Amino acid sequence: MLTFIYTNIRYPPDARENGIEGTVVVRFIVDKTGHILEPEIIRSIAEDCDQEALRVVKLMRKWVPGELDGKPVSCRFQLPSNTSFSNFQLPDSKFLVPACWFS
């Protein structure tokens, strides 16, 4: 998942020119069938960075839904999107524990 995100995200030119860096956080629901619903920005740094983070979330393929008592359930997920590429590296995945994941 993280490789997909960091491969597809593009640093907006205006943000680069203005030195805007930081982390946008996108919250969304993964429904019982694995589809992403209701993506929204819950931590913003700039409009163009926010829109880029939403664009990439909307590109993602179906996820494996969460489970409760052996049955698929909808779950909410928060995804940080780093728009600082001066010292770019993938985050340490051992600190990200999603309730849902890519299929």
pLDDT band at 43 (very low <50, low <70, confident <90, very high): very high
Task: Kindly state the average pLDDT of the residues 79-89.
Answer: 59
The mean pLDDT value for 16-31 works out to: 90
* Partners of residue 25 on adjacent β-strands: 43, 80
Does the structure show a pLDDT above 70 at 84?
A: no
- List, in sequence order, every beta strand (DSSP E) within 1-103: 23-30, 36-43, 63-64, 66-68, 71-73, 75-82, 101-102
Which tokens is 15 given?
């943000």
39 pLDDT higher than 90: yes
Alpha helices by DSSP H, listed for 11-46, are 13-17
pLDDT bin (cut points 50, 70, 90) of residue 85 is: very low
